[in-house]
Amino acid sequence: MNPQFWENKKILATGHTGFKGSWLSIWLKSLRANLTGYSLPAPTNPSLFELAEVAKGMHSIVGDVRDLDHIKAVLKKHSPEILIHMAAQSLVVESHEDPHDTYTTNVLGTLNVLEAVRHSDSIKVVVIITSDKCYQNKEWVWGYREYDSLGGIDPYSNSKACAELITSCYRDSYFKQPNPPFKNVSVATVRAGNVIGGGDWAQNRLIPDIMQSLIKKQQVVIRNPNSIRPWQFVLEPLEGYLTLAEQLWANGTKYSEGWNFGPNETDAQSVQWIVEQLGQFWGKKTDWKELPQPYPHEANYLKLDCTKARQRLKWTPRLDLATTLEWVVEWYRGWDNGENVAALTKSQITAYQSLIKH
């Protein structure tokens, strides 16, 4: 990743009010990017977006990715050069409760973004964020590679596989060649593991549930304690996305494909392991119990093979899982102690950037 690349670049990020989108927005603003965000209001209360005053220093637009005309108007007005599409319904449990909202947001929303790009004269690079759960899960003990089959049993996973297919179709039909009737736009999809970090308060998500239970000294209820997941600090995949965007800008369609960004293989651990480790770092044994079954289907085992990103992008995880959990605890402890959230978040971004330079 080259921090100088982003200075004055005109970026549109959808979903900038969410957990991951807020971290990305804070980082891009620190790199002096000309940033526009397009999203529904912050999805949680409290939220990193509100506490860190993310809207300051950027164009923050309230909008729904299911509103094609509005997206087109925003692209026309702000003329972004790079579009990072993060807006999504990202919760597995919620996808079971409201599949229609999940599909319209994740599938129609992605379709609308790509359709708006098709009519844009400014966009050169598009990065579509999907999920590691877009793969047809066969409970393999090895990681999924970018050419493995897409699928998904639950509505969330399935909707992300659909988003991948739509992106592939648009890339081949409208953006693959630099000559008319094609547009010279480089489009890639990115699939990350279970992204964790400070400032996440989503319901029915493991890290927020654990941290709130530790802060409030309450018992935490968890699903699937034996499930294995590829846990990674939020800045890890974000660095991958930005590195990929730089290559898409410089080398066009050579990088217009799917990419995995996950942790080292040793950092794929069980839900129960995460629960117990976070308690140790907090300094208090975590009191937990398993949610009585039945509960919505989720994969038992899920890992990513990131060989392609390592070899072709020279991207690699900077933090091991123990350090990641330490940073998570540091953030929530700081917030609980009344520290300035914007400064707390920026300090971790600065610390992470120092690792990139080495």
Its domain, for residue 129, covers 3-357
Kindly report the CATH number assigned to the domain that includes residue 89. 3.40.50.720
**Res 137: pLDDT:** 83
Q: How far lies 309's CA from each of 260, 263, 316, 358, in Å?
A: 7, 12, 8, 18
Q: Spell 96-120 as b/e; 16+ CB within 10 A means b.
A: beebeebbbbbbbbbbbbbbbbeeb
β partners of residue 228: 270, 301
Amino acid at residue number 301: Y
What the block records as the tokens of 71 is: 């997206």
| pTM for the whole structure | 0.94
Please, what are the averages of pLDDT over each run of 10 residues along the chain (358 residues)?
Answer: 96 97 98 98 95 97 98 98 94 84 96 97 96 85 88 90 96 83 91 93 90 92 85 96 97 92 88 93 90 66 89 96 96 97 98 87
**Res 253: pLDDT:** 79
**Res 358: pLDDT:** 57
Amino acid at residue number 118: R
Strands 59-62 and 34-39: parallel
**Res 332: pLDDT:** 97
Residue with tokens 């600065």: 350
What the block records as the tokens of 56 is: 């300051």
Residue with tokens 């290559």: 247
Q: Which helix (H) or strand (E) holds 101?
A: helix 99-103
Domain count, the chain: 1
Burial of 203 (0-12, 13-18, 19+ CB in 10 A): exposed
**Res 91: pLDDT:** 77
**Res 298: pLDDT:** 62
